[in-house]
Structure 1
Amino acid sequence: MAQLTTASLVAPRKILVGGGTLQQLPKLLQEFGLSRPLVVTDPWIVSSGMIDRVLAPLAEAGIGARVFSETVADPTDTVVEAGLAMLRRGSFDCLVGFGGGSPMDTAKAIGILAAAGPGQHLRDFKVPAAADRAALPLVCIPTTGGTGSEATRFTVITDTRNDEKMLIAGLGALPTAALVDYELTFSVPPRITADTGIDSLTHALEAFVSRRANPLADLYATAAMRLISRNLRKAYGAPRDATARAGMMEGAMLAGLAFSNSSVALVHGMSRPLGAHFHVPHGLSNAMLLPAVTRFSLQAAQSRYAEAARIMGLSTGDDATAANALLAELESLNRELGVPSPRQFGIEEAEFRKLLPKMAEQALASGSPGNNPRQPDAGEIVRLYEEAFA
């Protein structure tokens, strides 16, 4: 008898998916015996009034909530510490991360740091350490169809002392529950729709071709690629297309489950330093790098890339033809969705080149490049950064 492949599966205890599910937040909290949430969000969600989408149903159910809204686009350790200070001043029994990847990642890190010992810093939990404890249950509510953070055991936080985006992984970062309501994305502008959409496609594709891919994660990755490939251009061009928005929201969540149970790879390893040093939004930095890294990796896992192309409906040809069709699609997607190169984004070339060795070192140290089908050395990572820059 052939030996069966073993795999583990981690996921939130409950996920509610669909339009209007945000209204079920009070009931969801009550199911878990929770009634004193600290809502972690960003300044725009507060100033725009969108925060009322969370606070109003809670108030109607007699649940009082306080709001921490100091999160920033690239979450930092200092912001997490400010959130922790607010948490400790209150009598909260749960955290609610409401927004894009930054508020959700910040909420995760607050819970992890709240469970840490005296004198510990978030950098003590960066990979390869395991962050398996959180002080409070966490409910995540995404407002963009992209990061998948509502379903993952990861958070990415910038260490301001070392100017490094730290990957922190473990069960402590896994939400207790998630509400995935596509109606929250109707007002997301095209640029963010594009960047977060390609981010979610990157999650699914990297999970599928990763050296740590497994049959359970593949189920999520394949479903995510189908949904995202069918709906990303529609969501970008017609923001209020409910079918497209629902498909992207579900695809992003499934992609999050995929890479949470396998891994991301070289694109993400290179993306974090690019974001940390030049403040490129995470989804956009992934999009900048995806074609170049795919071209570099193609021959090392041609059959897997070819299968991804077939799943996305790009080719019915042999492996070489299908894999090349995938690469062509990624390049076309970047052109059609207006993804800039690092140069076009406004990064100064001299500063970029000066930091290349450090970025390559940080990319390798994250561990993600080791999951890539073709494992690079520092020199190859530098050349890939140069290719993407041009």
Structure 2
Amino acid sequence: MEKFAGFRVPQTIFYGRHSFVNVGREAALRGKKVLIISDKVMDQLGYVSECRQFLQEHGVHSAVYLGVSSEPTDSYVSESLEMLEKENCDVIVSLGGGSCIDTAKAIAVLSTNGGSIGDYMGNGRIAGVEAVPHIAIPTTAGTGSEATDVTVITNTSNDVKMMIKQPAFMPDVAIADPMLTISSPKSVTAATGVDALSHAVEAYLSKKAHPMTDTIALSAMELIVDNLSPSYHNGENLDAREAMSLGAMQAGMAFANASVCLVHGMSRPIGALFPVPHGYSNAMLLPAVLEFSKENCVDRLADLGRIFEKDNRNLTNEEYAGIAVTSVKKLCTELGIPNLKGWGIDGDAFRNAVGKMTEDAFMSGSPANNPRVPTREELEALYLSCYDYQFSAGEKVK
């Protein structure tokens, strides 16, 4: 390494079956009243009431915000922050997917540092005051947000997904209990799983990767490649679910410290303009972006190929890199990942938005971390190619 690197993770991490029970004790160490940030689905599944019971057992009171119903927006942030202050809560528990966790991260910082969440975009404002204690509990094996200092919030005034990264946004405690992921439908398991794979792969390919992130990214890739299909085909497979929860969290740790690349740079603008959840848009883009980037990262992409193809060790790095791209395409096909057209996005609307999406992607900074940094013309062409990209056919992306 030519310069030093940093590595940040939550203060405390619990993972494994039934680790959810730790929420009460950890909350009691940090305050007296919790605001639970969740959604109506988690409430209907009984996870919210279970959480409140664990808290009550340790003498911790709680209030609940269930307003998160889509990708996180500044509106959710404002509403939940108002409830946090009205209920005099001194601890936050996020329970759900990445949208719930990212919303909680935002209000944890705003409560003590002030301003609006948009002020923190591009480090326009730095959170210098310690955030409200935050315990993050994912119910999908996907975003890894429980272990990152990143929050992604949509600015509803200009339709831009703001990726904000500062140490203050890191949760204090992460609890990854695979038992909470069993309820995930097959489609969610698929999309969030490929999302987690994209985190691990991009962390490994990133120009900001370093030895600590490499080690964890490789572990995450292997856990996800080996266990995503079993989790998808049999949601009751606890061994696979547990491996996926660990892999997704490791992938989050890796990309939070190495940064993401072109997939995420392209994905966020899509989600800001069209109703595509983040996990799905990442999954839709990953095969085409890997194909586009391959010539500039053959050796590293070959390591992913070796994870997919464990039985044959006599191939060249170029051949293994090709296997990596082909295997990701096959995985997306197996998991029923649609392309953007298949999702239902209108073709004319998408083409008309390509200019704005390209500009927003570059403004995010993520494409600059990619092994192959596209020109504006290349990025526009890649967006258009991804619209009706055929995973099974494996068409070549120039």
Shorter-chain TM-score: what band?
Answer: over 0.9
Indicate which of 60, 63, 67 corresponds to 2:64.
67
Indicate which of 45, 48, 56 corresponds to 2:45.
48
Report which stretch shifted further, 149-158 or 127-136.
Answer: 127-136
Q: 1:25: Cα distance to partner? A: 1.3
Tell me if the contact between 1:195 and 1:287 (Cα under 8 Å) persists in the aligned partners.
Answer: yes
- Partner of residue 288, structure 2: 292
- Partner of residue 33, structure 2: 36
**1:80 matches 2:71:** no
In structure 1, what is the Cα distance between the partners aligned to 2:124 and 2:6? Answer: 19
Q: 1:130: Cα distance to partner? A: 6.3
Q: 1:34: Cα distance to partner? A: 2.3
Indicate which of 110, 124, 145 corresponds to 2:119.
124
- Partner of residue 233, structure 2: 237
Tell me if the contact between 1:309 and 1:325 (Cα under 8 Å) persists in the aligned partners.
Answer: yes
- Partner of residue 103, structure 2: 106
- Partner of residue 362, structure 1: 360
In structure 2, what is the Cα distance between the partners aligned to 1:127 and 1:223? Answer: 31
Distance 1:161 1:77, change over 3 A: same
Tell me if the contact between 2:131 and 2:169 (Cα under 8 Å) persists in the aligned partners.
Answer: no
In structure 2, what is the Cα distance between the partners aligned to 1:14 and 1:215? Answer: 22
Amino acid at match of 1:65: S
Gaps of 5+ in 1: none
Deviations 1:214-270 (A, max 9, x none): 001111101101100100000000001010000000000000000011110000000
Tell me if the contact between 1:131 and 1:168 (Cα under 8 Å) persists in the aligned partners.
Answer: no
Alignment of 1:135-150 (within 5 A): 135-150=131-146
In structure 2, what is the Cα distance between the partners aligned to 1:375 and 1:4? Answer: 21
**1:91 matches 2:88:** yes
Deviations 1:281-330 (A, max 9, x none): 10100011001110110011111111222244456311110000000011
In structure 2, what is the Cα distance between the partners aligned to 1:331 and 1:84? Answer: 41
In structure 2, what is the Cα distance between the partners aligned to 1:86 and 1:184? Answer: 26
| Other structure's SS at 1:110 match | helix
| Other structure's SS at 1:374 match | coil
The alignment covers a number of residue pairs equal to: 385
Report which stretch shifted further, 87-96 or 297-306.
Answer: 87-96
**Percent identity among equivalent residues?**
40
Amino acid at match of 1:24: N
Tell me if the contact between 1:130 and 1:169 (Cα under 8 Å) persists in the aligned partners.
Answer: no
- Partner of residue 376, structure 2: 378
RMSD over aligned CA atoms reads 1.4
Alignment of 1:155-234 (within 5 A): 155-234=151-230
TM-score by length of 1: 0.96
Indicate which of 351, 362, 367 corresponds to 1:353.
351
| Other structure's SS at 1:65 match | strand
**1:279 matches 2:271:** no
